Amino acid sequence: MSGEPPRRAPRAFRIDGDKIVEDDHAPSPDDAATDSATSEAPRPRKTSARIIPEPLPSDENLPAPLPPRPTRRWGRWLAIGLGGLISLGVGLAIDRLVRDLFDRFEWLGWAGIAFAAIAVLAVLALVIREIAGLSRLRQIDRLRAQFQSAADTDDSKTARSALNELMGLYAPRPETAHGRAALSSLSNEIIDGRDLVVLTERELLKPLDARARHLVANASKRVSVITAISPRAVVDLLVVAVENLRLIRALSLLYGGRPGTLGAFRLVRHVLAHLAVTGGMAAGDSLLQQVLGQGLAARVSARLGEGVINGLLTARIGAAAIDVCRPSPFIGERGPRVTDFISGLKSAADTVEERETPPPAK
């Protein structure tokens, strides 16, 4: 201990002060012996600080740049061209039909013009509805991102802005009146952004979450029962596809979305993407283990087991759809899981098994 050099007490220096000695480059290991032998560089005083800047990284050490994302410009132009040609063809066909009707009888021509005007108005109404539905879905996605950001950063301003927008979105719905009144009276007393998000979940979204779980449970039981008693695999596929699409649309309507045809496809794409990210489609082993854990495989037939698996898949898709359609992420509450719906599927399997079991012979 006596042979160690005395330690200097820590001191503070100004970066732009005159007691800072800056080297042009850091000494390399190869010329360390040369620096120790020559020692021509000025040594810093005891009351000075020596700064050695780090060498800039070379091009070899830099990470390789990411490849550019493939653009869909040509596919977009192809869709625009085909859509324009189809529109021109339909317009010319209608014009030719109206002219032929006028050549036959004048009143037939005017009737054709009236029907064409009705069709144009219906197309415009459908386009407006699709645009409004897509806009509502984007609004819900934006609210979810704002609530998530407010919870992560504890930003009360962002949380309050998202809450006001959500209350305006739910203003025409009478089932949210109690929650909106409670939030209006309590929101000014909450300071933290995360607490405001949790309060929004408890007062405004909790009744909707209960209704959403009920919808998922009913859809999974219907799929389980119908696919267990259906004779064809094609019927099973149609039932699963139709029920899951209806479930996604119903959940979106429950949480404030109004998806049209394009909006429904967009929701399905987002739900599938959510399942891919969370690993929900890997249902071969995990769902079978859940079924075996409930003791169903030991006492049901193979056909009934397929129905239970289809019901579990529907429950998993429903849970993912709740995460996608909900305007706020699950912060203070636990999100739905597949295990929450196994008891309902078990009761459905018991019902089907009782119906298929023949009565005992006398």
Cα(44)–Cα(8) distance, rounded to whole angstroms? 14
Does residue 350 lie within any of the structural domains? yes
> Which of 337, 63, 49, 56 lies closest to 217, judged by CA?
337
Does residue 126 lie within any of the structural domains? no
Q: How many domains does the chain have?
A: 1
pTM across the whole model: 0.66
Query: Residue ranges of the alpha helices (H) in 32-187?
Result: 32-38, 73-104, 106-153, 156-169, 177-186
Cα(241)–Cα(238) distance, rounded to whole angstroms? 5
56: helix, strand or coil: coil
Does residue 288 lie within any of the structural domains? yes
> Which of 228, 216, 217 lies closest to 307, judged by CA?
228
pLDDT in tens, 235-287: 878 888 888 899 999 999 999 888 888 888 888 888 888 777 765 544 444 55
Select the more confidently predicted residue: 48 or 291: 48
> Which of 176, 244, 182, 183 lies closest to 210, judged by CA?
176
Does residue 237 lie within any of the structural domains? yes
The 10 Å Cβ neighbour count of residue 55 is 9
Cα(334)–Cα(213) distance, rounded to whole angstroms? 12
* Mean pLDDT score, 47-60: 58
Select the more confidently predicted residue: 12 or 138: 138
Does residue 286 lie within any of the structural domains? yes
Domain containing residue 276: 205-356
> Long-range contacts for 134-137 (Cβ within 8 Å, ≥24 apart)?
134/260, 134/262, 134/263, 134/266, 136/256, 136/257, 136/258, 136/259, 136/263, 137/252, 137/257, 137/259, 137/263, 137/266, 137/267
**pLDDT averaged over every residue in the chain:** 76
The 10 Å Cβ neighbour count of residue 17 is 9
Does residue 101 lie within any of the structural domains? no
Does residue 146 lie within any of the structural domains? no
Does residue 246 lie within any of the structural domains? yes
Return the bridge partners of 22, or none: 51
| Six-digit token string for 97 | 């039909």
Instruction: Inform me whether the pLDDT recorded for 50 exceeds 50.
Output: yes
